[in-house]
Structure 1
């Protein structure tokens, strides 16, 4: 199944909804507040935030979460808190009030912990006993349907972040050497004398400025004239085409191919060409995940942003978020990552970027000052 074709899960009870949430998010939440929003009778959006620290005001985060949900054009929502009552109750109440203020109907408000769920809105002991209602996700028909459809629920968010973490050991040693060779190859293509070694060249590019545009111009400036720029673009487009073609055939790129691609992606025309060919297909997510994990740290900005874009287009917002966290942790000013991060925080639909980067979509998203992700 193509990852853009989201399977429908039949949710008929609070227990079904609790079982479905990990598959909507991609991982089992903990110490979290989750809003599952519906339009008509169909779940169309799920958003998660961390529970506030003890003693902290839950209002600002709750209002932001409600604004994101309301932006989806939804009719109603259910709020679910994961954790002990002392931390969950205030957060769930604040989100419920914020949703009411945004004009959304709150269908239910639940708390989940230790294999049981409680409803804040149901006072009938027959259906909502005070000791909570036990549930077994493994025995749920919803979980079985999700697994059958190929959906995955990882144990926690850390397991999701591990899917985009750098590979170490012999892989890292091999990639470091391959990246040195790629920088030398680029220097030869650009008609220069021996250039800096891989890591030094990467740092030199970063030193040009915090955003990707200055770094890209610094890379292009290696050449001596327009012919060199055309040669770089031609080499970049060929590398991108080869990467997509081979990966979609189920072949894994070699170390030198990955290194060459990551070096060329520092040039904006090459990065934008790769962006224009990236969609929400499983093959695209797999390609950019592999390249991101094998890339040298100074070269992760472009592949990490492209992975985030592919994941977002496929509806995997959590995967997009952890990819962006890795990019922005190392390259906080990389503007494509900043724009995508802002889109996720604002709850914009992936359709807002239809046609990017060829269209004038940059008017849709404007960078804002980044807030810490909760």
Structure 2
């Protein structure tokens, strides 16, 4: 099994599906509408959106969700709403309508509230009683299989956000001091660049290539970068040729996700755009869309015009499947850039 493969979970009932959803998303959803897309009998994609405000029209969001599902090559889907009936029902109904309008069969539509589930489509009291059915994911064979395969379902989306949050306290103080040393090192490097090296561009790229290579080597050995290495690498990644070099060597491997998560959390705030975008790319390639989304949120919150983050955010919103980049980096992002021919200008 490669790093980007995901173990298959056997789903035979609504209760099984509800047990699987947190592992498919990476966290337990709440106040959400989730669409589980299938091609034949195989789950190919899971999309989640927050429930709309009760006074808002959920139609536009539902159409977007249906469009994303359709682009995955799915032919059917099950819709699950999490929360109180008054909030869930309008969103589930809107998604059902949008999916049908996109030519997708709706296999079931469920509501989950306080440990019980109801089906909007089943009217048989024997299997779908009016009071709903209880379910306990902790006792499900699906949950056991997912845990055995090493899959993780965090308590909620906030826990996923916390995984990429900046470190603070004494560790941040030490990193700030390392950042000062890195800036002085960079000044010295540029001042010592050969006369013919305009603005030290070649010197910077050479230093960046060496830093990226060393970071990957350390990650393969299971070693963590020290503060000075993180500060130096994150500073050099602000130079676009260095960032592009790192991007070309980033895919959906576990070690890529681990490396860029660590650098993102420890980089100085003004230098988080590059590691956040690299983490988002690695997570997207691995099929971890939720992690990619929270990494991009962090990048765009501080750097709203960082074009690599904007580009990746667009890919996620349009539901472009990671398989479009099989063969990376010899193929380019869909319809955007070809990577075989090196450009003098990278994405900012």
Q: Indicate yes or no: 2:303 matched with 1:314.
A: no
| 1:353 CA drift (Å) | 3.6
In structure 2, the partner of 1:17 is: 17
Is structure 2 residue 233 aligned with structure 1 residue 261?
Answer: yes
Does residue 1:49 correspond to 2:21, yes or no? no
Paired residues of 1:2 and 1:282 also in contact (CA < 8 A): no
* Distance change >3 Å, CA 133–CA 177, structure 1 → 2: same
Name 1:94's counterpart in structure 2: 94
Distance 2:319 2:42 in 1: 18
Q: Is the 8 A contact 1:352 1:364 kept in 2?
A: no
Q: Taking structure 1 as reference, are residues 44 and 261 closer, same or farther at Cα in structure 2, changes over 3 Å only?
A: same
Following the alignment from structure 2 to structure 1, what is the Cα–Cα distance between the partners of residues 196 and 108? Answer: 65
Aligned to 1:152: 152
Alignment of 1:210-221 (within 5 A): none
* 1:56 CA displacement: 0.7
* Residue 351 (1) aligns with residue 323 (2): yes
Runs of 4+ in 1 over 6 A off after TM superposition: none
* CA distance in 2: counterparts of 1:122 and 1:157, whole angstroms: 30
CA-CA distance at 1:359 after TM superposition: 4.7
- The equivalent residue for 2:296 is 324
Q: Any idea what SS the aligned residue of 1:348 has?
A: coil
- Aligned counterparts of 2:2 and 2:174: Cα–Cα separation in 1: 33
Does 2:313 align with 1:341? yes
What is aligned with 2:251? 279
Go from structure 1 to structure 2 and tell me whether the alpha carbon gap of 1:57 and 1:11 turns closer, same or farther (over 3 Å shift): same
Q: Does the 8 A contact of 2:324 with 2:334 survive in 1?
A: no
**How far did 1:16 drift?**
0.3
Match of 2:107 in 1: 107
SS of equivalent residue, structure 2 residue 191? coil
Alignment of 1:99-248 (within 5 A): 99-191=99-191, 225-226=197-198, 228-248=200-220
Superposed, 1:80-91 pairs within 5 Å as: 80-91=80-91
1:353–1:5 Cα change, 3 Å: closer
User: Which blocks of at least 5 consecutive residues in structure 2 are unaligned?
Assistant: 338-348
In the superposition, the TM-score normalised over structure 2's length comes to 0.93
Residue pair 2:26, 2:290 contacting (<8 A) in 1 also: yes
Tell me the distance in 2 between the aligned counterparts of 1:286 and 1:231: 28
Q: Following superposition of structure 1 onto structure 2, how do residues 290-309 of structure 1 map, counting pairs within 5 Å?
A: 290-309=262-281
SS of structure 1 residue aligned to 2:61: helix
Aligned to 1:77: 77
TM-superposed deviation, 1:117: 0.5
Q: CA separation in 2, counterparts of 1:360 and 1:38?
A: 27
Q: Is the 8 A contact 1:37 1:76 kept in 2?
A: yes
Q: Following TM superposition, by how much is the alpha carbon of 1:355 offset from its aligned partner in structure 2, in angstroms?
A: 5.4
Q: Residue 245 of structure 1: CA displacement?
A: 0.5
Report the TM-score when normalising by structure 1.
0.87
The residue that corresponds to 1:64 in the other structure is 64
Root-mean-square deviation over aligned CA pairs = 1.6
Give how far 1:319 is off. Answer: 0.3
Following superposition, the deviation at residue 113 of structure 1 comes to 1.1
CA distance in 2, matches of 1:359, 1:187: 36
Structure 2: how far apart are the matches of 1:85 and 1:186? 58
CA separation of 1:357 and 1:328: change in aligned 2, threshold 3 A: farther
Go from structure 1 to structure 2 and tell me whether the alpha carbon gap of 1:78 and 1:359 turns closer, same or farther (over 3 Å shift): closer
Cα distance, 1:225 vs. partner? 3.3
